């Protein structure tokens, strides 16, 4: 790792790269997302010990948030920057978001939808959580995901394509 952005510089660095202010301010502050959108304390503890990880080679890393052993960070390398998702146990990037913050927030909201449906949370609460994240597509996302079990079974056969189609429908990509 070339550099780990110090905690006191994290906010300004992420704002420079376009993170929505509401999203940044609410990391670790939303009860409904308390397990999936945690302050990056784990990142600051673990990243300095992960010196053998090739994904960190020549990269400046700015933690965004933690989700258990899954981390979201801004990687800067050779004048290129991107938001990435990876796990503590694996030296592999699972998702690359470019610098598309709405695509990242879409993933957070998608995961919350799965939990919210189990808990019978309403559209109103779903939209309120999306509002706290600065995500203007909450209502439309809810409608796109609130489908029958049969439709879900079909779409889950190619979840990656389904997510891409939803992101296109929301004009995120």
**pLDDT of 121 over the 70 cut:** no
Nearest to residue 19, comparing CAs of 37, 2, 35? 37
Helix, strand, coil share (%) of the chain residues, nearest 5 = 50, 20, 30
Please tell me the pTM assigned to this model: 0.93
Q: Mind listing the pLDDT tens digit for each residue in 58-67?
A: 999 999 999 9
Higher-confidence position of 20 and 119:
20
Q: What is the mean pLDDT of the chain?
A: 94
d(CA 126, CA 107): 14
d(CA 88, CA 31): 24
């Amino acid at each position: 790792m070339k550099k780990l952005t110090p905690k006191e510089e994290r906010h300004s660095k992420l704002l420079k790269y376009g993170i929505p202010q509401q999203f940044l301010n609410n990391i670790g502050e939303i009860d409904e997302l308390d397990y999936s959108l945690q302050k990056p304390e784990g990142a600051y503890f673990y990243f300095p010990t992960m010196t053998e990880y090739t994904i960190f080679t020549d990269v400046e890393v700015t933690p965004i948030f933690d989700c258990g052993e899954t981390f979201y960070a801004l990687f800067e390398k050779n004048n290129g920057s991107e938001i990435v998702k990876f796990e503590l146990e694996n030296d592999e990037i699972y998702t690359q978001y470019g610098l598309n913050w709405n695509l990242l927030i879409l993933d957070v909201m998608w995961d919350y939808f799965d939990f919210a449906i189990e808990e019978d949370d309403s559209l109103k609460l779903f939209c309120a959580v999306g509002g706290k994240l600065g995500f203007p597509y909450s209502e439309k996302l809810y409608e796109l995901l609130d489908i029958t079990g049969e439709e879900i079974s079909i779409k889950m056969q190619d979840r990656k394509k389904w997510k891409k189609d939803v992101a296109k429908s929301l004009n995120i990509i």
